[in-house]
Structure 1
Amino acid sequence: MTVDADAALVERYLEHVRVGKRLAQRTVELYALDLQKLLDNAQVAGVPLARVQAVHVRRWVAQMHGAGRGGRGIALILSGWRGFYRWLGLQDLVGSNPVQDIKAPKSPRPLPKALGVDDAMRLADHDDDDADPLLEARDVAIVELLYGCGLRVGELVGLDAVASGTARGWIDLDAGEAHVLGKGSKRRAVPIGHKAVEALQAWLALRPQLAGNDPALFVGRGGKRLSAQSVWLRLRRRSGQAGLATPVHPHMLRHSFASHVLQSSGDLRAVQELLGHANIATTQVYTRLDFQHLARAYDAAHPRAHRKR
């Protein structure tokens, strides 16, 4: 098959995803770019597209990786190539998919973004005197629970004011615990610090003015359960008001909770339990954050940390 014939084959496939699958124009354009890479590689190797083998694909992956392309970018390209060869198989033009078992190199897992202790305290202590007192009490309690308990935003908005047979989660102020329904429908109890207890008591005293008959712990102006998106927006706004350089989202407070508890205690298993992680490997990412904290402290304080100029 000639180069022109291969190019025509790619055009037929792009028409298929454009018309048959009704993919967005931008997606089709990205497919076209990825398949042009495939065409170029096949041409350099002197092999028609229908005769490309897994050994060719592995070589091209190694070349892309060696040129600096990240694992996620390579994975997207392979996904496009894999779909193309799957279509060729349906057309009886290839006997097997040479991309089927090819995996992209693993990308380094990015570190979670956590606030420093000072910034976390600044956010938690922020007091908006101009805000509606009802909403201010609610938002303070939200921040205290997210940072003080390490809750996911879904766990937070799923809390009810009192325990019931239908509650996804609830607060037990007498025991100083938040009972939440986490990932995999797994329940766990998380201790609530005294600052969070105080904030919750203040909010619960005002909550009936907004909540009506809704059992949700946190409600909006309309008296209905607060959505995760609303919590994101309120927290972003509040972090700006508190003077933080980076807009804060709920999961950043969860990361901050885990990082700060680990820095103080060094107990990885305890942090795993508090976060509700099924696997300790998920929690171990915070040890990297903890090491960064130690490295910064070393650089700032140790007389041997810097070379003489």
Structure 2
Amino acid sequence: MPAPLAPALQAFLQHLRVERRLAPRTLAMYGDALGWLQQLADDEAVALGQAQAHHIRGWAARLRERGLGPRSIAIALAAWRGLYKHWGRERLVTHNPVDGIRPPKAPKPLPKALGVDDAVALAQQMPRTEHPALAARDHAIVELLYSSGLRVGELTGLDVAASTTAAGWVDAADATAHVLGKGRKRRSVPVGGPALQALAAWLALRGTLARPDEPALFVSNRGTRLSDSQVRTRLQSLARDAGLATGVHPHMLRHSFASHLLQSSGDLRAVQELLGHASITTTQVYTKLDFQHLAKAYDAAHPRARRK
């Protein structure tokens, strides 16, 4: 079993949790990375405050030898870099030994998106449950994820009404969802007609599940805010009911939203704004998905493209 994190590392995680408000999944990954850092330093009897760049390079190589992939190593280096940056602000170290150290390169897999027909079939699939409120809730969740390209955390963070404490809400009159995205950046995205209808049906039944003082838009059968993992489980069940061959997760609907919008409009900047990407290079990956769609159409239709 790994040794418990040293108090200084625990304090950094607490800083990320309280002040930076990182997502639980990110905190868990950073916690693992800090545990590896502590173990690697202990193995070589190096005080973390005295670590140098050559130590960090060696420890990253050790992680690779243990079978960690480039992405996991990149996350570890990001956690370590953040730790030393934080310690620098606290004047606990004089320099950041992780600066300038890059993780091994890895091929970037294309995001998985549903085809238009599959996405529409999933959005139209009514949940198989005897509880009408749960069915209305799940239907509204799928419609909103696909209609507005929300991250699952943005979806579960929505409140039923706008307020100064709400992370996000849906303005049905304006057909707009206001969400708090990565880096605590607010953005507004349109909500389509079918999603608004599904939300109205859910709101009409929400009171049969939600506790009187619960502000969340989407609640569980216990009446409290729905968690990210619960949304993933419900979406997988709906995908099976809809007869989809591939596993479906919330981010796949975000990818589908972006890919289908780009196929229809070709407006990369608009898609960037709707997704809340800080850099357009992040959004450009969907142009590759769009090209794959065009290439398939070409292979199927052009007489000189067909292969025997």
Same fold (TM over 0.5): yes
Q: State whether structure 2 residue 125 is matched by structure 1 residue 126.
A: yes
SS in structure 2 opposite 1:304?
coil
Q: State whether structure 2 residue 187 is matched by structure 1 residue 188.
A: yes
Per the TM alignment, residue 20 of structure 1 is displaced from its structure 2 partner at its CA by 10
Post-superposition Cα deviations, 1:59-82, rounded to whole Å, max 9, x if no partner, equal xx9xx9xxxx99729969xx9xxx
1: CA distance, partners of 2:228 / 2:242: 21
Contact 1:149–1:192 (Cα < 8 Å) also in 2:
yes
Stretches of structure 1 that go unaligned for 5 or more consecutive residues are 1-16, 33-53, 80-98
1: CA distance, partners of 2:196 / 2:3: 57
Which residue is equivalent to 1:157? 156
Q: Are residues 74 and 126 of structure 1, via their aligned partners in 2, closer, same or farther at CA, if it must alter by over 3 Å?
A: closer
Post-superposition Cα deviations, 1:128-179, rounded to whole Å, max 9, x if no partner, equal 3544211000000000010110000000001011111111101110000001
RMSD (Å) for aligned C-alpha atoms: 3.5
1: CA distance, partners of 2:166 / 2:249: 25
Q: Are residues 135 and 284 of structure 1, via their aligned partners in 2, closer, same or farther at CA, if it must alter by over 3 Å?
A: same
2: CA distance, partners of 1:102 / 1:276: 28
Post-superposition Cα deviations, 1:249-289, rounded to whole Å, max 9, x if no partner, equal 10010000000000000000000010011111110110011
SS in structure 2 opposite 1:170?
strand
Identical aligned residues as a percent? 61
Q: Are residues 185 and 302 of structure 1, via their aligned partners in 2, closer, same or farther at CA, if it must alter by over 3 Å?
A: same
The code of the aligned residue for 2:169 comes to W
Which residue is equivalent to 2:147? 148
Per the TM alignment, residue 109 of structure 1 is displaced from its structure 2 partner at its CA by 1.1
Runs of 4+ in 1 over 4 A off after TM superposition: 17-22, 73-76, 99-105
1:1-309 superposed matches below 5 A: 72=70, 103=102, 105-213=104-212, 214-307=214-307, 309=308
Contact 1:70–1:107 (Cα < 8 Å) also in 2:
no
SS in structure 1 opposite 2:178?
strand
Q: Are residues 296 and 163 of structure 1, via their aligned partners in 2, closer, same or farther at CA, if it must alter by over 3 Å?
A: same
SS in structure 2 opposite 1:189?
strand
Which residue is equivalent to 1:93? none
Q: Could you state the TM-score of these two structures normalised by the residue count of structure 1? A: 0.68
2: CA distance, partners of 1:276 / 1:147: 15
Stretches of structure 2 that go unaligned for 5 or more consecutive residues are 7-31, 41-53, 78-97
Which residue is equivalent to 2:14? none
2: CA distance, partners of 1:252 / 1:100: 33
Per the TM alignment, residue 306 of structure 1 is displaced from its structure 2 partner at its CA by 2.4
Q: Highest CA radius of gyration, 1 or 2?
A: 1
Contact 2:147–2:257 (Cα < 8 Å) also in 1:
yes
